[in-house]
Amino acid sequence: MSKKKKNKSKQTDNRQQQEPGPMMEEAVQVQSSEYAYNHSALCTLHSAFRWCGSLAVAIFLMALLMILLGWATFVENKYGANVAQYAIYRSWWFDVLLTLFGLNVLCAMLARLPWRWRHIPFVVAHLGILILLIGCWVTSRYGLEAQLTVYEGELGRFAQRVSGDEINLEIIDFHNQSRDSHGAIAGRSDELEHERMAREQLDVLRDRSKIKPPGVELQPDLDTLANTYRERVPVTLGPMNWRDQAVWPVSWLLKLAKRSQGTVYDQDGIRVELLDYLADSRMKPADQLMLRIQKIGVQTTDVGLEDEATNTNPETRSLKPEVWETRELPLGLVSEDSRGQDPYLTSLPEERITYRLTKSNAETMAFLELPQEQALGTWGSVVIRVGGSQYVIAVDDLIKRQAQFGKKLNDTLFAKQQAEIDATGLRIQQLAPDEGTDIETIKTQLAEKESEIARLDKELAEFNAQIRMAIGETGLSFEMTQFRTDAMLMILNVYREDDTRYIIALSGDYPLSSTVPDALGMQIMHLFDPDVIINEQPDQASSMAFNRAMKPRLDLLQGRDQKLYYRFWDGWKYSRSGEMPTDQTVLPLQGHDGSVLNIAVNKYEPQDYPGLKLVAEPFKNPSANKMGTVPCVKLRVCVDGVGDETYWVQKTPFLIPATQLREHQAGYVSGQNRTVAVTFPMAWLDLGFSLFLHKFERKLEPGISMPSHFSSLVSVYPIDDTNADTTGREPLHDYVLIRMNQPGMFADQVTGRKYRVFQSSYQGPFHPGMEQYEMRRQGGYLIEGETQPRESLYASTLTANHDPGRGWKYLGSLMIVIGTLAFFYAKKNANARNSSRERQ
């Protein structure tokens, strides 16, 4: 083949290779469409990215922020800082707005990649803005602020949180055998506890009557606090009543703010719902219950009007109507100790009427439920309702057990107490031996005493097992320690499995006056038949208790639903119960002798607490007087599907022990063999160090009573649960002066958090004769190291602030300043260069 033909053949093959076929054309079209789609998506994403970082978006967001900050300033001036913080600064939408602003700054930085030297001021300033926003978020999320008020010569460790609320749950499990499950602090051994008790005894022996012990902590120790509360549930409630959040012009902001409404806790069979909140409420006296009472007595001759509706035998009996009597009744508590008080009597000598307030639906059901017929025995039976079940115990058996083991138990208990006193004395000798004391002999004697105490403990456990009676499978047991047959009054000790004891005074004549602790969730009655006692124990038949028990009695009860219920006793027998009409309808109650007691309610006002009614106060400006108002929450608590209660709980003062709570400061709900106590306390913060106030100093402006300067001289000690006294303890920081503009820096010994402690305010001066002075002086004690009593006493209020984002905020602010200055410097140099070029 010639060279010309070969070249022509190659050209033909190349054209065939270059010309695509149908399959290749289709593939090329698919690749082109995919490329176009990807290119379009990338362009859209790039356009959105550049738009997010554009100057227009930045100007819009900054303008919106400026408007909102100005609005927040107005709100703060008019309604207070709490409203501004809740409605604006700590709202979710304000966080979203700051996040968008941070995203705009980040996009503006990334849009200028790759960065050049001329971009450095811009990048530094914008990076500073991001770091500042991060620091603000860290402070908002993890920052803490609390106020500590401490008197001169005292220690303070537990501070009150400035912001934030919480609901505390104390779960009392009757089957719990260890206090550790209630949150007790570990590592507190019996040896350390004995040493602490011995040191206290040693201080007494040394007669420190002229020096006030400076180690009195303002609050209980950690063990007490840990066992008081098991669960702490943080909640967000806001600065005003939920029903009054229509305050113009912030109503729309308040509706957008976060608040803890609905279920706030749902674990382990316990559910807590938050239904309502009153930021300002007060207790006001409630109107008493007013009744109209009429007694229709039995006559032996047919001389009066016959009432077919109430006379069971009109042929042999006639009823004579008597005048109506009006009676006002005050309200008491079911568990109120009214022993020694007469029931509320009418002028009718045969009738008695009691009026009480129940604290649970279970008590209402037990009130309405008719007792089952029981073989009462000579002295009757104790009827117990707990956990939805009923238990009946014969009093005769309790008397026999008490007679058989009571004396042995008391003798053993007395012997143990004496042995413990002797052992304490030996420990004191071991800590502070006298001259010539043989330490080894003391150790031997102490070991013998401890062995004797262990033996007596074992005997006590055996006697307790014999004298106590178990209440079914509830984990509770009880014993009777005293029984007065003349008054039908018995004293019972009820025990949990961890030997926690509850004392009950049980009255057979007045079941509603029996003292039953709320923690037990128990309803208990003593039922007896006076006729049986008269026949078998005639020497007791003349007592006043039997005479009263054989007469009719009407018990009135306000239920948890604020309805009025009644229970009528015809003599000792429980004859009738139900809901009491409150619309002046006459309720006839017939006795076994044919007499009739007509009852009508003239006036009834439901009460939240005995004699008191909870009233919501409208929103007030923070500068207005709020004395006497207390926040409170309305809760619904369900335990084990058995207890389901709805009630109001007022906020408790700062760190008040559970044993000192008032009726309206705690709610108790009983479930299956356990009770949950719900409180709404002031939020507290354990600082992790103890601060001792040596002296507070105040200086006044010349000629006026306004302070120009005040400061606190303090020492900071490490925490020590076994010895709160500062004697012999090395301070972490000694004699630190805290002024108004000179804070102190101290670290939490447990968590490592650092607190800046500022001087914020003070209380006093308190002079001799004033309550605050006399309580702290403790009967003439002086502050340690001083020889004369002070003429006045002060209390200093310090603010402890933990701000983990402070460094970020300082760094971000510094970078913004540096970037801004560098930008203007670069701009100035650029202008100078341009001017030089123009001149040339």
Q: Which of 86-100, 130-144, 274-288, 383-397 has the lowest mean pLDDT?
A: 383-397
- pLDDT(554) > 60: yes
Q: CA-CA distance, 171 to 153, in Å (whole number)? A: 37
Q: Are 572 and 529 in contact (CB under 8 A)?
A: yes
Average pLDDT rounded to a whole number, residues 384-401: 83
Q: CA-CA distance, 463 to 477, in Å (whole number)? A: 13
- pLDDT(625) > 70: no
Q: Dump pLDDT digits (tens) for 324-369.
A: 878 777 775 443 333 333 333 333 445 578 788 887 787 788 788 7
Tokens of 750: 């447990």
What's the pLDDT at 197? 43
Q: CA-CA distance, 266 to 272, in Å (whole number)? A: 6
Q: Which of 16-25, 174-183, 397-406, 479-488 has the lowest mean pLDDT?
A: 174-183
Q: Which of 138-147, 171-180, 226-235, 384-393 has the lowest mean pLDDT?
A: 171-180
In the chain, the percentage of residues whose pLDDT exceeds 90 is 13
264 pLDDT band, cuts 50/70/90, is: very high
What's the pLDDT at 349? 44
Average pLDDT rounded to a whole number, residues 224-237: 67
Average pLDDT rounded to a whole number, residues 683-688: 85
618 pLDDT band, cuts 50/70/90, is: confident
Q: Dump pLDDT digits (tens) for 476-525.
A: 888 888 888 777 788 888 888 877 788 888 877 666 556 677 778 788 88
Average pLDDT rounded to a whole number, residues 681-710: 84
What is the DSSP annotation of 714-767? EEEE---TT----TT---SEEEEEEBTTB-EEEE-TTT--EEEEEEEEEEEEE-
102 pLDDT band, cuts 50/70/90, is: very high
What's the pLDDT at 129? 92
pTM value?
Answer: 0.72
List the one residue out of 153, 148, 212, 151 whose CA is nearest residue 765: 151
3-state secondary structure of 49: helix
Average pLDDT rounded to a whole number, residues 227-233: 66
What's the pLDDT at 627? 67
What's the pLDDT at 815? 94
| H or E stretch at 530 | helix 530-536
Q: Dump pLDDT digits (tens) for 31-66.
A: 555 555 555 766 777 777 788 888 888 899 999 999
What's the pLDDT at 186? 29
What's the pLDDT at 10? 53
Residue position matching structure tokens 């002079």: 767
Q: CA-CA distance, 591 to 597, in Å (whole number)? A: 8
List the one residue out of 674, 667, 612 whose CA is nearest residue 636: 667
CA dist 433 to 207, 439, 449, Å?
17, 8, 18
201 pLDDT band, cuts 50/70/90, is: very low
Average pLDDT for the chain: 76
- pLDDT(372) > 80: no
Average pLDDT rounded to a whole number, residues 198-205: 41
Tokens of 405: 């083991």
- pLDDT(5) > 70: no
Q: Which of 26-40, 194-208, 464-478 has the lowest mean pLDDT?
A: 194-208
> Edge-to-edge strands of the sheet including 707-717?
733-738, 707-717, 684-700, 155-161, 144-151, 793-802, 754-766, 744-747
